[in-house]
Structure 1
Amino acid sequence: MNKFRFVLVFTFLVVLSACGSSGGTSGDGEVTELRYQGSVGAVTPPELAEDLGYLGKVKLKWVGNTISGPQDIQSAATGQTDFGGAFNGAVIKLVAAKAPIKAVVGYYGSDKDAYNGYYVLDGSPIKTARDLIGKKIAVNTLGAHHEAVVKEYLQRAGLTKDEIKQVELVVVPPVNTEQALRQKQIDVATLGGILRDKALTRGGIHPLFTDYELLGPFNAGTYVLRDDFIAKNPNAARAFVTGVAKAIEWSKTHPRDEVVARFKAIIAKRKRSEDTTAIGYWKSYGVSATGGLIGDRDFQTWIDWLQREGELRPGQVKVSDIYTDSFNPYANGGAQ
């Protein structure tokens, strides 16, 4: 993994972030429209929040889709969008590269229903971590959640750094990962959520391990806002975080069938020519903390990992520099 893939971006980060702006403003001069990237065939917590009316006067403006968390938060950091979300390890690396951002609310994680598994074909000779030496593992992007969990799994199993380097990570679009495994183009497929469940219904595969088994329930990713955005738009920032937090709790407290029906209606209304079949497999956003509250553990685990990888110096990034729960109403014991 190349050190600090984000560094080149930030030679001109401040200039770009100053240039980026949302389309609408309110009477107090704050933005009322937040630009963002979505995900094909899925409904993100902000999209659910807007549909439920939880964002108040703040509206969302879709500018395209992404499958990469690191790319999504880079877009937010450079002012191309107003918020972005990624695996917490990627957020740490962006902060280490001096990006003026702050994580403000968790939006995905792993629990008993929402987790990432690392799957092999039935009959595969791969039984243990050591069997992965010289093998290919498909991940959606490098330097993010899937890679971090693989490295943590290998390290906990006692593999040396040199042995870990012999495990090849291959970037494969999530929608193509199952097919690549079945055609034996890769040895292990990283599958989560809807794609995992659809693959399992077809049979012939089983997990070598899962991130939930490895780490237990945890908040894996957070949405970030730029520091200058927060300074200029504190009310919009609060509306965004509050809306996302309430939407996450709504998804937890309503029957799954009702949540899925709402998702399908949202996808139909936005008219992006998407197939709603896959969304029927949705079970959970996987956010274990109430309202997406962020805790030190959400980042310290990955700070430790990045230090072991040699991508961070000890003390280079402090947890207190990365996130704030100040906009989240659940930090005070309940939504406002």
Structure 2
Amino acid sequence: MSPLPVISRRRFAGSLAALGAAAGLGATAACGGPARAASGGQSKVIRYQGSVGTVLPLELASSLGYLGDVRLDWIGNSISGPQDIQATVTGDTDIGGAFNGAIIRLIAAGAPITSLYGYYGIDSTIWSGFYVREKSEIRSVRDLPGKTIGANTIGGQTEDVLKLKLKQAGLDEDAAQLVVVPPVSAESSLRSGQLDVAVLGGPLRDLALSRGGIRPVFTDYGLLGTFTCGCDVMRDKFIRDNPDTVRTVVAGTAKAVAWSQTQPRARVVEQFARIIKARRRQEDDSQLKFWHGYGIAERGAVIAEREFTVWLDRLVDTGIVGRHQLSVSQLYTNRFNPYASRGAT
């Protein structure tokens, strides 16, 4: 079995800078094409990437009829949050979602994007754990220095949660080594000994636990509590040029999230199953039986300041972002969301 590749922080930082520099070109290029609106009008087509076997809040909104005359154009599936928002920056899509820490990194690199609403999070039923084999000598976070930990991507939630936990324990944030592992391979890599620790969440976590022989060192829910972790973003130019469309998309998606937060779970899962069947992408919908919610903390996907400050403060403390380089107000807005309280930014 071949060794797992170690994540290169320098290479990732370089790609962010390049994307930031190219952002203006990507935003301009994205305005053309046969699927776009007629000259002088606002676009009524939103290009996006999906996720295999799951239903995004945006897709739920469309299926419930909450997007009015705005049509979704699926261009393929994303491989990770950072890749998804990078596609938005370069103009390949009009909207993308990622972990809030990844969004901050990209904006700090010069990408002209803004977060519009929360699209996933964690709570008491929706969380990820840092798992080890049952007989592992790793008992706490203090045993992690020098160990290898599987992550699906750099700059994502796994990395920042890990580093926040290490810092709380008084340890060097780079004490543990991250390696790139596709989520579907994480459990087998852990059990075979390729990894010391594997991050498991959702259906993959439940399946792994059903087979026994593993235990968590800590969980992101134990660290953060109920917390919206990621947002959907759009390019600032797209927002300026298409304010009515953006308002429709945000308001409709917020309404869909609120619907999912208040309906019986069985009804939501039934709606998801219909969506997956209707889009005809040859997907396995078996993981829907493990769905318990989006984990979004606020009603209607409203963004709370804390959901960005916790990661911005960490990135400033480590020097990844300059102390006066960004303010929280540059990262997100609730002005298009009808569920936001009066006076929200």
Query: Which amino acid is the alignment partner of residue 319 of structure 1?
Result: V
2:31 matched to 1:18? Answer: no
Residue 44 and residue 237 in structure 1: after superposition, are their counterparts in 2 closer, same or farther (change >3 A)? same
> Which of the numbers 60, 64, 67 marks the counterpart of 1:55?
67
Alpha-carbon deviation of 1:39?
0.6
> Which of the numbers 10, 16, 22 marks the counterpart of 1:6?
16
Aligned-partner SS, 1:329 = coil
> Which of the numbers 186, 203, 208 marks the counterpart of 1:177?
186
Alpha-carbon deviation of 1:165?
2.5
Residue 317 and residue 106 in structure 1: after superposition, are their counterparts in 2 closer, same or farther (change >3 A)? same
> Which of the numbers 294, 297, 306 marks the counterpart of 1:288?
297
CA contact (8 A) 1:4 1:311 kept: no
| Cα distance in structure 2, aligned partners of 1:173 and 1:309 | 27
Unpaired runs of 5+ in structure 2?
1-8
> Which of the numbers 87, 95, 106 marks the counterpart of 2:99?
87
Residue in 1 aligned with 2:205? 196
Query: Which amino acid is the alignment partner of residue 7 of structure 1?
Result: A
Range that drifts further, 200-209 or 19-28: 19-28
| Cα distance in structure 2, aligned partners of 1:117 and 1:111 | 12
Residue in 1 aligned with 2:215? 206
| Cα distance in structure 1, aligned partners of 2:278 and 2:185 | 27
Alpha-carbon deviation of 1:26?
7.2
CA contact (8 A) 1:219 1:298 kept: yes
2:112 matched to 1:100? Answer: yes
Alpha-carbon deviation of 1:131?
1.0
Alpha-carbon deviation of 1:67?
2.5
Percent identical residues? 48
CA contact (8 A) 2:122 2:228 kept: yes
CA contact (8 A) 2:21 2:111 kept: no
CA contact (8 A) 1:40 1:65 kept: yes
| Cα distance in structure 1, aligned partners of 2:55 and 2:106 | 25
Aligned-partner SS, 2:281 = coil
Alpha-carbon deviation of 1:27?
9.8
| Cα distance in structure 2, aligned partners of 1:99 and 1:166 | 30
TM-score (norm 2): 0.92
Per-residue CA deviation, residues 264-305 of structure 1 (Å, 9 max, x unaligned), is 111111111111111211111100111111121111100111
TM-score (norm 1): 0.94
| Cα distance in structure 1, aligned partners of 2:207 and 2:64 | 28
Residue 26 and residue 285 in structure 1: after superposition, are their counterparts in 2 closer, same or farther (change >3 A)? farther
Aligned-partner SS, 1:196 = helix
2:246 matched to 1:234? Answer: no
CA contact (8 A) 1:293 1:330 kept: yes
CA contact (8 A) 1:26 1:32 kept: no
